[in-house]
A and B are shown apart, each in its own frame.
Chain A
Amino acid sequence: GQQVMQIPQYQHVQEGEDFTTYCNSSTTLSNIQWYKQRPGGHPVFLIQLVKSGEVKKQKRLTFQFGEAKKNSSLHITATQTTDVGTYFCAGPVTGTASKLTFGTGTRLQVTL
Chain B
Amino acid sequence: GAVVSQHPSRVICKSGTSVKIECRSLDFQATTMFWYRQFPKQSLMLMATSNEGSKATYEQGVEKDKFLINHASLTLSTLTVTSAHPEDSSFYICSARSQDRGGKNIQYFGAGTRLSVL
Contact = CB atoms under 8 A, between A and B. Distances in A.
B46 A99 contact: yes
A42 B23 CA distance: 13
A100 B111 contact: no
Interface in B84-102: 93, 95, 97
Given A41-B111, A42-B111, A42-B112, A102 B105 contact: no
A71 interface: no
A105 interface: yes
A33 interface: yes
B32 interface: yes
Contacts, number: 47
Given A43-B44, A43-B93, A48 B104 contact: yes
Contact of A102 (B44, B106, B110): B44
B26 to A, nearest CB: 15
B74 to A, nearest CB: 15
Nearest to B102: A48
Interface residues of B, number: 21
A48 B49 contact: no
A107 interface: yes
A41 B110 CA distance: 9
B28 interface: no
Interface string A25-53: 00000010101000001111100101000
Nearest to B107: A100
Nearest to A43: B109
B43 A98 contact: no
Contacts of B93: 42-43
Interface of A: 31, 33, 35, 41-45, 48, 50, 88, 93, 97-105, 107
Given A50-B104, A105-B42, 9 more contacts: A31-B104, A42-B109, A42-B111, A44-B109, A48-B106, A99-B49, A100-B46, A100-B107, A103-B43
